[in-house]
Chains A and B, each alone.
Chain A
Amino acid sequence: AQSVAQPEDQVNVAEGNPLTVKCTYSVSGNPYLFWYVQYPNRGLQFLLKYITGDNLVKGSYGFEAEFNKSQTSFHLKKPSALVSDSALYFCAVNGGNSGYALNFGKGTSLLVTP
């Protein structure tokens, strides 16, 4: 089955510094990769996805992600973090024998300090 792994439970970064939230994937065939963000007591908000094409994907709120096939990674990045970016971030994958089902990573809690 398609799967993703988020190796970090928590990432801490100072406001204004660049941030990276890591995700690696394991898929058969071509991956469909997604990033979602969840604020406390809220649903998931879509940030960006990789289907095919350019390895650098730009998304909402200044976030971007780089698809790296050789390293099987899809790390989420932002050049300058905001305190309001503090939230829970999920990487997800579907397709292949997982079909429609989005298989999520365990989530990474991002804390941006002033």
Chain B
Amino acid sequence: DTEVTQTPKHLVMGMTNKKSLKCEQHMGHRAMYWYKQKAKKPPELMFVYSYEKLSINESVPSRFSPECPNSSLLNLHLHALQPEDSALYLCASSQDRVQETQYFGPGTRLLVL
């Protein structure tokens, strides 16, 4: 089983709202990732967690706040977003070695009004 699940599938929020995206995997992977993807563009890495610790933050604005409560779950808390933050947010997971395959979830399509 190589499934990564993400909820919700779609999200519409105002610039003053607080919302959270959720990602879950049960493959025993110890590395988890958040990527942001604009339409027709490649995904861009936002955060990497390794063994539930944040290991990479690609200079992401503080209005995005990641959280890894346990080895199977990854959250992305959103607050005071801007319209330009509208995008597809993809979660991925892999074994904790660089050459391991990252498996992606279906994504959450976010629209900020």
Task: Give the B-binding residues of A (Cβ under 8 A).
Answer: 32, 34, 36, 41-46, 49, 51, 88, 90, 92, 94-95, 99-102, 104-107, 109
A99-B56, A104-B42, A107-B40 given; A49·B106 CB < 8 A: no
Interface residues of B in 69-113 (CB under 8 A from A): 90, 92, 94, 98-99, 101-107, 109
Q: Which residue of B48, B50, B56, B107 is within 8 Å of A43 (Cβ)?
A: B107
Interface size on B, residues (CB 8 A): 28
Give chain B nearest CB distance to A11 CB in angstroms.
Answer: 15
Give chain B nearest CB distance to A30 CB in angstroms.
Answer: 9
Interface residue B17 (Cβ < 8 Å from any Cβ of A): no
Taking a contact as CB atoms under 8 Å apart, the answer to whether B90 and A44 are in contact is yes
* A86 CA / B70 CA spacing, docked (Å): 37
B55 partner residues in chain A, CB cutoff 8 A = 100
Interface residues of B in 32-53 (CB under 8 A from A): 33, 40-43, 45, 48, 50
